[in-house]
Amino acid sequence: MTAVDKTVAENSANPATLVRDSVKTVIAASMVGTAIEFYDFYAYGTAAANYFPHIFFSDKANPTVALLMSLLTFAIAFIARPLGSLVFGHFGDRMGRKTTLVVSLMTMGIGTFLIGCLPTYNTWGIAAVALLCLLRFVQGIGLGGEWSGAALVATENAPEDKRALYGSFPELGAPIGFFLSNGTYFVLESFNDSDAMLAWGWRVPFLLSAILVIIGLVVRVHMEETPIFRLAQEQKKVVKSPLTEVFRKSWKQVLQATFLVAVTYTLFYTLATWSLAWGTKEKGEGGGSLGFTNQEYLLMLMIAICVFAAFIVISCVNADKFGRKRVIITSSVLLVVFAALFPFLLNGEIVGQRNFVANMAFLCIGFALMGTAFGPIGAFLPELFDANVRYSGSGIGYNLAAIVGAAFVPTIATWLSSHWGVHSVGIYLGVMALCCLVAVLSCHETKNVDFTK
């Protein structure tokens, strides 16, 4: 009997408290939402790097400016996410994880689907750009409540000694969503030329997201509330104002969570969004003149994402065995080394054009380190907070990290590389890795905390 079950048996006469979702249900309910989350963000990131500069921000005189403007809209959802985490975190800690996750998924899905229905700049002018920004904001609001709720569904149903492994379920949604998004673009570009993609092909991934959302809603409507939240309700530990409690008692943990996660965002969008533009565009367009086609680069990313998924699981198993801090400290140190070395793999003057070996080394090593850093976060962040403010605390920290680490990464990296070369992007990533290292060193090990409190 786990500590959760013992506590429930001792403190509750209601047998319903003991009801837990099956492992299959936990995997589906926690993984599907984050898969959709990352699918939506990858679809937008790919479109922002390749299609939106022509569809919404066409500037034939200066393509780099068009690309930068397009990538700035990418940041809007990240700015909205902390607001979403405040709203959904409040209700998640007051009403429960299940209802909040259903509403956040619907909000996110509607925003994504409607982006696929938007008229272009040539049709509606500046109004089309304004609507794009509004829907991107709606996406961010919905996403603000997604990850933390999914992580709690997984970890609050987990055995004590497997919280990090269960916490890997929502984390694995990242490579799944990435694979589905890039796979969709890859198939579309295999059968359509660039004119067709600009005319209608770019819309397809956004419209197809509706199928994933419907599947996610069916799974989540039928899942149970988590046993730890039910226990908190029965012991009357649910607080009226979770946000006040978080900022009054756990502000330090919020800051720690923010910088623990920020580097994973910086690394991911460096690998998946900035490098896509760098590898496929000419220097005059904000790229590195590496000579790859968009389809070739998407295929390399899809191969590398499998490495990402494998290292999420490996790191979570190690986090359950050796502790969360040891794994994340190791990944932070290795990321500093990677940040210093990877620019040599992306410098066309050193490796030449169309150097698949160098580029695959960059992507595979980067995603291996990404999986190592990202995997344990699914358990580590919730473990930093008490059960009655866990949704709010972990969500705020995770989504503030989205602003610090991700919102402007493609834009900043494009600007840095176009002015000072690819090595400046390495310095940027290295600084974020050092911030993560400081944050994790300031944390206590949480592997053996009482998760019911």
Q: How far is 156 from 384, CA to CA, in rounded Å? A: 13
Name the nearest CA neighbour of 230 among 18, 21, 378, 453.
18
Please compute Rg for the chain using Cα positions: 21
Q: How far is 402 from 415, CA to CA, in rounded Å? A: 19
Query: Both tokens of residue 364?
Result: 């595979």
Query: Both tokens of residue 62?
Result: 């200066």
36 inside domain: yes
Q: How far is 163 from 451, CA to CA, in rounded Å? A: 10
| Number of domains within the chain | 1
Q: For residue 449, is it left (φ>0), alpha (ψ between -120 and 50) or beta?
A: beta
17 inside domain: no
Dihedral of CA atoms 45, 419, 79, 271 in degrees, nearest 10, equals: 40
Q: How far is 182 from 165, CA to CA, in rounded Å? A: 26
453 inside domain: no
292 inside domain: yes
Q: Can you say how many angstroms the Cα of residue 253 is from the centroid of all Cα atoms in its chain?
A: 20
Cβ-based neighbours of 421, under 8 Å, separated by 6 or more? 343, 347
Name the nearest CA neighbour of 225 among 20, 393, 381.
20
Cβ-based neighbours of 240, under 8 Å, separated by 6 or more? 94
Q: What is the pLDDT of residue 53?
A: 86
452 inside domain: no
8 Å CB contact between 305 and 171: no
Q: How far is 269 from 412, CA to CA, in rounded Å? A: 11
Q: What is the pLDDT of residue 21?
A: 61
Name the nearest CA neighbour of 285 among 445, 62, 35, 12.
62
For the four alpha carbons of 433, 436, 441 and 447, in that order, the dihedral sign comes to negative
Q: What is the pLDDT of residue 69?
A: 83
> Consecutive 10-residue runs of the chain (453 residues): their mean pLDDT?
43 44 78 82 82 80 76 83 89 86 89 93 89 92 86 88 92 89 90 92 94 88 82 81 87 95 93 89 85 91 94 97 96 97 93 94 97 95 91 91 83 88 94 97 93 80
436 inside domain: yes
Q: Which three-class secondary structure state does DSSP give residue 63?
A: helix
Q: How far is 185 from 169, CA to CA, in rounded Å? A: 25
Q: Which of 38-49 are b and which e, b meaning 16 or more Cβ less than 10 Å from the residue's Cβ?
A: bbbbbbbbbbbb
Q: How far is 242 from 89, CA to CA, in rounded Å? A: 8
Query: Both tokens of residue 240?
Result: 């009226």
Q: How far is 58 from 66, CA to CA, in rounded Å? A: 6
Q: What is the pLDDT of residue 59?
A: 60
8 Å CB contact between 94 and 404: no
What string of DSSP letters covers 261-290? HHHHHHHHHIIIIIHHHHHHS-GGGTS---
Q: How far is 166 from 161, CA to CA, in rounded Å? A: 10
The single residue listed with the structure tokens 């099956």 is: 22
Task: Please compute, for residue 187, the number of CA atoms within 13 A of its CA located in the half-sphere on the CB side.
Answer: 7
Q: What is the pLDDT of residue 188?
A: 94
Q: Which three-class secondary structure state does DSSP give residue 431?
A: helix
Dihedral of CA atoms 175, 411, 372, 432 in degrees, nearest 10, equals: -160
What string of DSSP letters covers 130-152? HHHHHHHHHHHHHHHTHHHHHHH
Residue 406 is given by DSSP the state I
1 inside domain: no
For residue 322, the enclosing domain spans 22-441
The CATH number of whichever domain residue 285 belongs to comes to 1.20.1250.20
Output the pTM of the full model.
0.84
For every residue of 183-198, which 3-state class applies, written as one string?
Answer: HHHHHHHHHCCHHHHH
Q: How far is 170 from 34, CA to CA, in rounded Å? A: 6
446 inside domain: no
